[in-house]
Amino acid sequence: MNKDLIKKKYKKKIKLVNHYNQKYYDENISEISDAKFDQIKKEIVDLENKYDFLRDENSPTLKVGFKPSKNFKKEEHRIPMLSLANAFDEKDLINYEKKIFNYLDKKDNLQIEYSAEPKIDGISASLTYKGGKFFRGLSRGDGNQGEDITLNLQTIEDIPKFISEKDFPDDIDIRGEVFIQNSDFEKLKNKFANPRNAASGSLRQKDPNETKKIPLKFIAYTYGYENGLNINSQSDFLKKLKQWGFKINLLNKVLTGTKNLMDNYHEIEKKRNELDFDIDGIVYKINNFDFQKRLGNVANAPRWAIAHKFSANNGVSKINDIDIQIGRTGALTPVAKINPINIGGVVVSNATLHNEDEMDRKDIRIGDTVIVERAGDVIPHIISVDLSKRLKQSNKFIFPKKCPSCGSKTVKEFNTLTKKKDAVRRCSSEGFGCEKVAIEKIKHFVSKEAFNIDGFGKKIVEKFWDLKLIKLPQDIFKLNYEKIALMDGWGKQSVANLKFSINERKTISFERFIYSLGIRHIGLENARLISKHLKTFKNLIQFYKDKKFNDLLIIDGIGETQINSVKNFFLNSENLKIIDELSKILKIENAIIIKKDGSLANKTFMLTGKLNGMSRAEAKSIIEQNSGSIISNVSKNLDFLIIGEKPTKRKIENAKKLKVKILNQNEWLKILNKTS
Ligand code: IVH
């Protein structure tokens, strides 16, 4: 298809989406199904991703919300709804405080109290109450005039419809934020770009019955017009709001001094991803209402408040190089080495490019200027390339056809199930022959869920590999400790500790053993299922000698992909040799078949603190072997809290409150011995 035709097709789709939107929001008519509507929107997104020359200001991908509907009557706010000035860093806060001191003609040593309130990213609304009755609700509109959305606001449970408290003013505008919780937004993800749009779209439905279907929330934080409000500070006002039946933000605090404001800001920014609502900063309000009155407003914002915005979770940088990392399964992962940038307080210098297909799709090249995103604990990644800044002489990145570590051919496997080639390119050796793969396999072998050797982390694997102390998993059990004792940084005690932890792990459960082999597609759960099915290590040997791979198909959860992978693994003589060597060193226990009617049946346990001579994992498995179950919260459903050394105090307190039985290790073992 030529460029013009593509453009025409694209514009037509945008026109269509906007037509359906207008029908829906202004006339409340659904001319097509939601699914079809979403499909057209997705086609637009796909086209934009595929063709860089497609851009249109009316595209639904650029729209934050919908135009205010013509359906709502406009109403004047009795007191304008202002916006807030912004601060971005500590320097801005210090300057802000200085200005306040100057304005109020105060000395620097005065402590000014702030009400620090998380800034919810929703839609603000002003609710007028007359004689205690919810009379009218307006959207912010342009600040002076809002839309009368009373009927829609009335559907929100958090908004009290009648307030009978004596001290509730006779006439007042209560202002706050309408928003949707992230967990509720999950269900509406296909209809709206983000929670804010969902809240805004829902509030502007013509039919309040439609609004009602959407679980909107309301948090109150300020007032507009008032008659009869007799309160001296913002924090007292917030307390009153609560008494009157409004929801207020649980993270509101009263603080003094910019240092404390900064600490609170960092603390909340850290928690930001765990909250069930989106916040984009903290609002600081001078707590004292007399000061607020004296400070007054500038053009469109009060002098007595400022919004301390969180830094964006993305930034612009340049790709200096593209590295190829090789994983345990031979997967080649491209990683962009970028000019270090600070994103939300963390310096980012690497960003994953995922795999070959993803790189092709985004056509990412060395030298490109890119937008990098870092969200939560996820590895930073590249969102898009700024093509306008691409250098003329830049070349397409060619993915290596040979493994950069061992030189074997790299391949993209054909997935028989999806009938497509894998998005990932892999080193075809896939075994210990490739140095990088081997190191990653050994890291997996010693990892927490596998052999879990205390003090034998990733760094030690790399070090011992470099020193040629280990090449294969079995080498871990044949270490030359005398040689290690002579190495820098190793003393007698640390070598003795290492030796002890390695020897301790010579006895291993069957499921951990299977998992530690690092068979592709055989994670913890599949390893457990296979171990339960085969029961003993002896049976495992027989299983692969007889090549009875398809027998595993009867296990619920094991499919063709896993079988193929198991087959490949056990048809590889190198792997069999490793298993044989390990079997000479290790004691591989038989799979434990959990009795449903064990002595701890129907009893729930929770552990806190360090147990003596027993890992938490072992304690858990003992409980489970005796048909007990482990739960992760202190609640009414908990029967026993087992406490070890340095337990979490809060857990004990909660357990006491709920009258949960508390046992120390000995008491617990006694119960176990008595009943088993
Ligand atoms: S006070 C004049 N308090 O932030 C005072 N606003 O940029 C302005 N917002 O339109 C309102 N949380 O939508 C205030 N605790 C809070 C807030 C808050 C969120 C929003 C509100 C306002 C915008 C100002």
Q: What are the DSSP calls for 267-327, one per residue?
A: HHHHHGGGSSS-EEEEEEEESBHHHHHHH-B-SSSBTTEEEEEPPPSEEEEEEEEEEEEE-
Q: Residue 345's pLDDT is what?
A: 64
Ligand 1 geometric centre to CA of 130 (Å): 23
Q: Is the CATH code 3.40.50.300 the one for domain 85-309?
A: no
pLDDT at 553: 86
Query: How close is the Cα of 512 to the center of ligand 1, in Å?
Result: 53
Tell how far the Cα of 123 is from the centroid of ligand 1, in angstroms. Answer: 9
pLDDT at 66 (0 to 100) = 46
Which ligand 1 atom minimizes the distance to the CA of 82? 2
Q: Give tens-digit pLDDT for 344-393.
A: 667 889 999 999 998 888 889 999 999 898 865 568 999 888 888 898 88
Give the domain 604-675 fold: Rossmann fold (3.40.50)
Candidates 3.30.1330, 1.10.287, 1.10.3230, 1.25.10; CATH matching 3-52: 1.10.287
Question: Which residue lies with its CA nearest to atom 2 of ligand 1?
Answer: 82
Which one of 119, 234, 300 would you pick to mutate in the ligand 1 pocket, going by the greatest count of ligand atoms within 8 A of its CB?
Answer: 119
Ligand 1 pocket test target in 81, 140, 221 with most atoms within 8 Å of CB: 221
Which residues have CB under 6 Å of ligand 1?
82-84, 117, 119-120, 124, 140, 177, 221-222, 283, 302, 305, 307
pLDDT at 230: 92
Residue positions annotated with a catalytic role: 119
Please list the residue range(s) of the chain that carry CATH number 1.10.150.20. 435-505, 509-589
- Closest ligand 1 atom, CA of 175? 11
The listed CATH number (3.40.50.10490, 1.10.150.20, 1.25.40.80, 1.10.10.60) that belongs to domain 435-505: 1.10.150.20
Q: Are 282 and 254 in contact (CB under 8 A)?
A: no
In the chain, CATH 1.10.287 sits at 3-52
Using CA atoms in the order 331, 332, 335, 336, what is the torsion angle rounded to 10 degrees?
Answer: -150
Nearest to 207 by CA among 29, 18, 75: 29
Among 1.10.520.10, 1.10.150.20, 1.10.260.40, 3.40.50.1110, what is the CATH number of 509-589? 1.10.150.20
pLDDT at position 601, please?
85
CATH of domain 316-429: 2.40.50.140
For CATH 2.40.50.140, the residue range(s) in the chain are: 316-429
Residue of 258, 320, 274 lying closest to 97 (CA atoms):
258
Residue nearest to atom 12 of ligand 1 (CA): 119
Q: Which residues does the chain have with pLDDT short of 70?
A: 23-30, 33-35, 38, 61-70, 108, 190, 193, 344-345, 375-378, 430, 594-595, 674-676
Q: Give bridge partners of residue 173 from the DSSP assignment.
A: 128
Q: In angstroms, what is the span from residue 302 Cα to ligand 1's centroid?
A: 11
CA distance 434 to 45: 41
As annotated, the residues of the chain forming the CATH 3.30.470.30 domain(s) are 85-309
